[in-house]
Amino acid sequence: MSSITLHTLMARKQAGEKFAVLTAYDACFSHLISTAGVEVMLVGDSLGMVLQGNDSTLPVTIEEMVYHTAAVKAGNQGSMIMSDLPFMSYGTPEQAMDSAAVLMQAGAHIVKLEGAAWLDDTITLLAERGVPVCAHLGLTPQAVNVLGGYKVQGRDNSAAKKMIEDAVRLEQAGAAMLLLECIPSLLAGEITKAVDIPVIGIGAGADTDAQVLVMHDMLGITPGRSPRFVKNYMADSDDIASAFKAYAEEVKAGTFPGPEHGF
C-alpha cells in the first residue's frame, strides 16, 4: 500500500469510499495491520487499559505514548499513524504544542485529542504549526469521571444539537478529522454529512466515513464481556493477519458495522 495521507482520506470521503482504522501499539502488529489494508493505525491511549491493565486511560503518560508511537512507526508499511494526546497533556495550548511535538517527532502523522469548545484555539494553533488534529467527540474516556461512566452520549435532542454544532465549529477551527465514540447511529450520520472532513466512528453506526476498533477487542482477547459495537474477527479467521484483512474488507464494503452493533 502506498503511503496514506490526509489528501487520500479526503478523496475517499468525497468519493463515498469508506476506510478502516485499527489501534496498534507495537512494531509487529503495526506491520500486520498496515499490510492488511487498514488505512490508519491509532496509537490509542486505550493502551492504558489493554496493555497496562488499568481501569481507565487516565494513567497514560506522554512518554509512554511516544514509546509506542515509535514502535508503531518502526513496523509501519504505509498506513497513516494517529497518536492520542493522553490525559492532561493538552490542558493548555502551550502544553498541547509540547506534547504534540514529541508525538510527531516519534512518528505520528496526526494527533487526536478529546473535547469540544475549549479546544478550538489549541486546534487552530496546532494546525497552523503543521500538526493535523483529529477531534474526539461523544464518549470521551479521559472524561469518564465527569461523564459518570462509559455511557452512550448525545441521546437527548439538546445534546445531539450541541454535538453537531461542536463538530462544525471544530472543523472551522482547523480539525482535519473527527472521531465519534458511542453515540446514536442517526446522529453520527448527521454529523458526517454536516462536515467535509473525514469522520471515524466507534459505536456510532454505519454512516460515518470510517470505523475504528481496539485491536484486542476485535481479536477477542480483551477479558470480560465485550461492548455491543465490537465484532470478534478471529471467530471466522485462521490467523491474526486474516482477521485484520477481514475487518478492513468489511469496513470498506459497508458490511461492518451492522445495525446490531449500533445505538
**1-9, 78-86, 179-187, 192-200 -> range binding Na ion (CB under 5 A):** 78-86
**Closest separation between CB of residue 47 and Na ion, Å?**
9
Closer to ligand KIV by CB, 50 or 173: give it.
Answer: 50
Q: Which helix (H) or strand (E) holds 134?
A: strand 133-138
Is 112 annotated to bind ligand? yes
Is 46 annotated to bind ligand? yes
- C-alpha dihedral sign at 229, 207, 198, 140: negative
CA neighbor of 3 nearest in space, from 100, 57, 76 = 76
Say which residue the cell 454505519 belongs to. Answer: 206
Closer to Na ion by CB, 109 or 252: give it.
Answer: 109
C-alpha distances (whole Å) from 58 to each of 49, 103, 123, 137 are 9, 18, 21, 17
Q: Please, which residues bridge with residue 19 across strands?
A: 210
Contact between 42 and ligand KIV per CB under 6 A = yes
Closer to ligand KIV by CB, 84 or 166: give it.
Answer: 84
Is 114 annotated to bind ligand? yes
Closer to ligand KIV by CB, 57 or 122: give it.
Answer: 57
By CB under 6 A, what part of segment 176-215 binds ligand KIV? Answer: 179, 181, 202, 212, 214
The torsion defined by the Cα of 120, 58, 20 and 152, in degrees rounded to 10, comes to -80
The interface partner of residue 219, options being ligand KIV, Na ion, none and the CB cut-off 5 to 8 Å by kind, is none
**Phi, psi (deg, nearest 5) at residue 12:** -60, -45
Q: What x-and-dash track marks residues 90-129 binding ligand KIV by CB under 6 A?
A: ----------------------------------------
Told to judge if 181 belongs to the known catalytic residues of this protein, a careful annotator would answer yes
Q: Please, which residues bridge with residue 21 across strands?
A: 40, 212
Cα separation, 47 vs 22, in Å, equals: 13
Q: Which helix (H) or strand (E) holds 113?
A: strand 110-114
Closer to Na ion by CB, 214 or 251: give it.
Answer: 214
Q: Which of 12, 44, 80, 115 binds Na ion (CB under 5 A)?
A: 44
- Among candidate residues 64, 181, 249, 250, the one labeled active-site is 181
Site size toward Na ion, by CB under 5 A: 3
128 exposure class (CB count in 10 Å sphere: 0-12, 13-18, 19+)? exposed
Is 98 annotated to bind ligand? no
Is 151 annotated to bind ligand? no
Q: Which three cell numbers stand for residue 93?
A: 495550548
Contact between 45 and Na ion per CB under 5 A = yes
Cα separation, 193 vs 69, in Å, equals: 31
Long-range contacts of 224-227, Cβ-Cβ distance < 8 Å, separation of 24 or more? 227/203
Annotated binding site for 3-methyl-2-oxobutanoate: 45-46, 84, 112
Q: Which positions lie near ligand KIV, rule CB under 6 A?
A: 23, 42, 44-46, 84, 179, 181, 202, 212, 214
Active-site annotation, residues: 181
Q: Which positions lie near Na ion, rule CB under 5 A?
A: 44-45, 84
